[in-house]
Chain A
Amino acid sequence: MTRQMTGAKMVVQALKDQGVDTVFGYPGGAVLPIYDEIFQQNDIRHVLVRHEQGAVHAAEGYARSTGKPGVVLVTSGPGATNAVTGLTDALLDSIPIVVLTGQVPTFMIGTDGFQEADTVGITRPCTKHNWLVKDTNKLADTIHQAFHVATTGRPGPTLIDIPKDVQFAQGDYTTPQKARTEHYAPTVKGDIDAITQLADMIEKAERPVFYTGGGVINSGTAASQLLREMVEATNFPITSTLMGLGAYPASGKNWLGMLGMHGLYEANMAMHDCDLMINIGARFDDRITGRIDAFSPGSKKAHIDIDPSSINKVIHVDLPIVGDVGHVLEDLLRIWKSRGRKTNTEGLKNWWKQIEAWREVKCLTYKNSTQTIKPQYAVERLEAMTRSMDRYVTTEVGQHQMWAAQFMGFDEPGRWMTSGGLGTMGYGLPASVGVQMAHPDSLVVNVAGEASWLMNMQEMGTAVQFRLPIKQFILNNERLGMVRQWQELLHGERYSHSWSEALPDFVKLAEAFGCKGRVVKDPADLDDAIREMIEYDGPFILDVLVEKHENCFPMIPSGEPHNKMLLGEATTDDAIGASGAVLV
């Protein structure tokens, strides 16, 4: 039996049938019929953000901390264009979100109507797929397809543009079971011959390393579990990208720490000197590889990825395996075990000895101070005081983000939310809103830089309205610190527009929003301030005034290979070759 209803009602029904409990959105003329339906039901909570970009980042935070797709509802024209940054962010970080946009009525499309924008045209390159629905009978089917595409294969953002007349018109509702989803079916099982070959390589390798990424987390908790089993059973060292932190626990003994431009010395050296690199769900991003032609010159490389276009895109690999990380790891473990669980123990012993020597460098060492709060120290204290708690961390983009990645440890997937691929300043605060919506009783901290934080600070209003006790931990160096660092290292210390002038008083700002704030300047007061932030029952802004000119190390300068890593005050003449200056 088919059910007749209006398009607007269909939207709400389809969301319910997809198991959606939370929608982040902002109303406007072209979505009023849908808002009218939202008003008349209680199953779906609508979170009114303060800017559509905030809605998308909140949905990303929700998605990454729950493993479920995040949902966004915005109006046509400016509502849709404001969502573009968030869509691009979700595309680059493979985050499943479904965005519904209103559109002018079908008969007005193309007339430059009020708040008309070519939303599907604008968002085509920043969504995994998008649709303009011109027939109410196809609306429910399209929404179900959008969820299917967003969540299967390599996840990503999808968008459905819904003209207002389609929302008003009556049509037949299609259930998720009846929706046409069959033709989009990415490969999940890996090729068994290739997996067997990988098992063989694992048995022989003298200097292996697991290089894991966000794909492990996207594959689901089972994949993280299998990865842990694999690492423990082989005793291979493991490093991860910024996106993959938490898939293998930071407390695990084989953990080398994050790799990449600001990764740990031992992780990058292991990548450079290994003889077998096993890439699991990572994509050889340029923040990871450094100089391509000197990237891990002596290794055989295997690459497990669900997206065939990730393979051989940047780095040529010897053994590609297209498939879902969870499925492939399951087969790999089974095959490797059935062949007798062999590894090259003698080689491994020497390899670990070498790694221990690299660890001895203690690359995260920094000069602490009793006068000013060092940003590293602030993050260390935050880590020490919250590590054992039921905790989620988001970040903005800049030095503070890298310090958070270096000094904080995550023992579970989905606990760390940061903008990796796009590097979107303004991500962290709205993302913390989304995470806290999904986990009302957990501690949610946004490790922020003052400049990034200002980019979406309006979302404090959302936090106060919805009583979300998010903690804004602002490392305030009064600088666009990461930009300043590059200017110091690459542009002759000419600090062109990289300081934060006319900053607001963050304590008064907190009060103005109706929450609480505190400023801390003396290292001796830091613990007390962090304690107050954690214990306060509500949103809190902690303005941590930190050393203004601290640089983030280690650092692989652009255009250099891993073994040309710069360490703290260990200085090198001409550290960044002239040719690196052009790279971002």
Chain B
Amino acid sequence: MNALKIKKGSSRKSAYDLRDPNADIVETHTLAVIVDNEPGVLARVIGLFSGRGYNIDSLTVAEVDHTGHQSRITIVTGGTPAVIEQIKAQLGRIVPVHRVHDLTVEGQSVERELALMKVAGAGEKRVEALRLADIFRANAVDSTLESFVFEITGTPEKIDAFADLMRPLGLVEIARTGVAALSRGAT
């Protein structure tokens, strides 16, 4: 009894494909999330991102107010404008979250990341690495006869650029902190 006379063997395509193929462009936003520094709070934030399928490009967290026990979580994330709005609203729903700032839209902000890079080499390459480090204002915080560890601070793009230059010169390893960001101006 097939009241609806539907053809047998329906295809596996999803109706979600019916959504506008010209979906909005993906934007990158930097969010500062002020939270109570209580156990599990970072797990709540990360769990939200993984559970709802959002991206985390970069994440930093540390207590910034020791007396008030508040931490600042800086998240760089990507999504369509609608998804970014959802991310902010969902973050705001987490009980220990006090405030969510979208530094990308709330006026100008400064962003910095710190990286340590180990570069090994000898001869010309070693000299060239030092010369470039000087141009990028990277400091050698450790050196042996065949290696340096550079410390560099800047925007993620600057760090990417420096890493690209170091790669042919003997880049061994990178450690990056992720982005810390603050809005500009007095408030």
A residues lining the B interface (CB < 8 Å): 120-121, 124-125, 128-129, 132, 149, 183-184, 291-293, 307-309, 311-313, 316, 488-493, 549, 551, 558-559, 566, 568-569, 571-583
B3 within 8 A of A: yes
Select one of B3, B14, B16, B98 contacting A183, CB under 8 A: B98
CA gap between A582 and B15 in the complex, in Å: 7
Select one of A121, A124, A311, A576 contacting B6, CB under 8 A: A576
B10 within 8 A of A: yes
Cβ–Cβ contact B10 & A571, under 8 A: no
B177 within 8 A of A: no
Cβ–Cβ contact A559 & B92, under 8 A: no
CA gap between A492 and B92 in the complex, in Å: 46
The 3 closest A-B pairs by CB, nearest first: A559-B15, A492-B8, A309-B89
A-B contact pairs, 5 of them (CB 8 A): A293-B20, A309-B89, A309-B93, A572-B4, A574-B6
Q: Which stretch from B39-47, B111-119, B141-149, B153-161 is at the chain A interface?
A: B39-47
CA gap between A132 and B6 in the complex, in Å: 53
- CB-CB under 8 A from B43, the residues of chain A are 121, 124
The answer to whether residues A575 and B6 also contact, given A149-B95, A559-B15, A582-B15 and a CB cut-off of 8 A, is yes
Cβ–Cβ contact B39 & A293, under 8 A: no
CB distance from A524 to the nearest CB of B (A): 25
B5 within 8 A of A: yes
Cβ–Cβ contact B95 & A291, under 8 A: no
Query: Which B1-57 residues have C-beta < 8 A from chain A?
Result: 1-20, 36, 39-40, 43-44, 47, 51
Select one of B44, B51, B82, B90 contacting A316, CB under 8 A: B82
Across the interface, name the chain A residue whose C-beta is closest to B91. Answer: A309
Select one of A120, A183, A576 contacting B10, CB under 8 A: A576
Select one of B1, B14, B98 contacting A549, CB under 8 A: B1
Across the interface, name the chain A residue whose C-beta is closest to B20. Answer: A293
The answer to whether residues A292 and B19 also contact, given A491-B10, A492-B9, A581-B10 and a CB cut-off of 8 A, is yes
- CB-CB under 8 A from B96, the residues of chain A are 129
B164 within 8 A of A: no
Select one of A121, A292, A312, A581 contacting B11, CB under 8 A: A581
CA gap between A412 and B19 in the complex, in Å: 39
The answer to whether residues A571 and B93 also contact, given A293-B20, A312-B85, A559-B15 and a CB cut-off of 8 A, is no
Cβ–Cβ contact A559 & B18, under 8 A: yes
Cβ–Cβ contact B3 & A125, under 8 A: no
CA gap between A583 and B12 in the complex, in Å: 10
The answer to whether residues A124 and B13 also contact, given A559-B18, A575-B6 and a CB cut-off of 8 A, is no
CB distance from A217 to the nearest CB of B (A): 20
The answer to whether residues A120 and B18 also contact, given A309-B90, A573-B5, A582-B12 and a CB cut-off of 8 A, is no
Cβ–Cβ contact A490 & B6, under 8 A: yes
Cβ–Cβ contact A488 & B1, under 8 A: yes
Across the interface, name the chain A residue whose C-beta is closest to B50. Answer: A125
B86 within 8 A of A: yes
- CB-CB under 8 A from A559, the residues of chain B are 15, 18
CA gap between A217 and B94 in the complex, in Å: 23
Cβ–Cβ contact B6 & A579, under 8 A: no
CA gap between A572 and B5 in the complex, in Å: 7
CA gap between A48 and B63 in the complex, in Å: 44
CA gap between A73 and B81 in the complex, in Å: 43
Across the interface, name the chain B residue whose C-beta is closest to A134. Answer: B39
- CB-CB under 8 A from B8, the residues of chain A are 492-493
The answer to whether residues A580 and B15 also contact, given A124-B43, A124-B44, A492-B9 and a CB cut-off of 8 A, is yes
Across the interface, name the chain A residue whose C-beta is closest to B92. Answer: A308
CB distance from A493 to the nearest CB of B (A): 6
Cβ–Cβ contact A578 & B10, under 8 A: yes
CA gap between A125 and B98 in the complex, in Å: 19
Across the interface, name the chain A residue whose C-beta is closest to B48. Answer: A125
Select one of A571, A574, A582 contacting B3, CB under 8 A: A571
Cβ–Cβ contact B89 & A311, under 8 A: yes
CB distance from B39 to the nearest CB of A (A): 7
CA gap between A373 and B89 in the complex, in Å: 49
- CB-CB under 8 A from B4, the residues of chain A are 489, 566, 571-572, 575-576
**Looking at B3, B8, B51, which has the most chain A CB atoms within 10 Å of its CB?**
B3
- CB-CB under 8 A from A132, the residues of chain B are 39-40
- CB-CB under 8 A from A312, the residues of chain B are 82, 85-86
Cβ–Cβ contact B15 & A558, under 8 A: yes
- CB-CB under 8 A from A488, the residues of chain B are 1-3
- CB-CB under 8 A from A128, the residues of chain B are 95
Across the interface, name the chain B residue whose C-beta is closest to A120. Answer: B40
CA gap between A277 and B5 in the complex, in Å: 34
CA gap between A491 and B4 in the complex, in Å: 12
CA gap between A558 and B86 in the complex, in Å: 24
- CB-CB under 8 A from B94, the residues of chain A are 129
CA gap between A579 and B93 in the complex, in Å: 34
Cβ–Cβ contact A583 & B14, under 8 A: yes
CA gap between A307 and B85 in the complex, in Å: 13
- CB-CB under 8 A from B12, the residues of chain A are 581-582
- CB-CB under 8 A from B36, the residues of chain A are 183
Cβ–Cβ contact B11 & A308, under 8 A: no
Across the interface, name the chain A residue whose C-beta is closest to B94. Answer: A129
CA gap between A491 and B15 in the complex, in Å: 16
- CB-CB under 8 A from A292, the residues of chain B are 18-19
CA gap between A183 and B34 in the complex, in Å: 13
- CB-CB under 8 A from B90, the residues of chain A are 309
- CB-CB under 8 A from A581, the residues of chain B are 10-13
- CB-CB under 8 A from B85, the residues of chain A are 312
- CB-CB under 8 A from B10, the residues of chain A are 490-492, 576, 578, 580-581
CA gap between A128 and B39 in the complex, in Å: 16
Q: A313-B86, A581-B11 are in contact. List 4 more A-B contacts (CB 8 A).
A: A132-B39, A569-B3, A573-B5, A574-B7
CA gap between A307 and B95 in the complex, in Å: 13
- CB-CB under 8 A from A124, the residues of chain B are 40, 43-44, 47
- CB-CB under 8 A from B7, the residues of chain A are 574
Q: Mark B82-113, 1 if CB is under 8 A from A, else 0.
A: 10011001101111101000000000000000
Cβ–Cβ contact B89 & A577, under 8 A: no
Select one of B18, B39, B98 contacting A579, CB under 8 A: B18
- CB-CB under 8 A from B95, the residues of chain A are 128-129, 149, 184
Cβ–Cβ contact A582 & B44, under 8 A: no
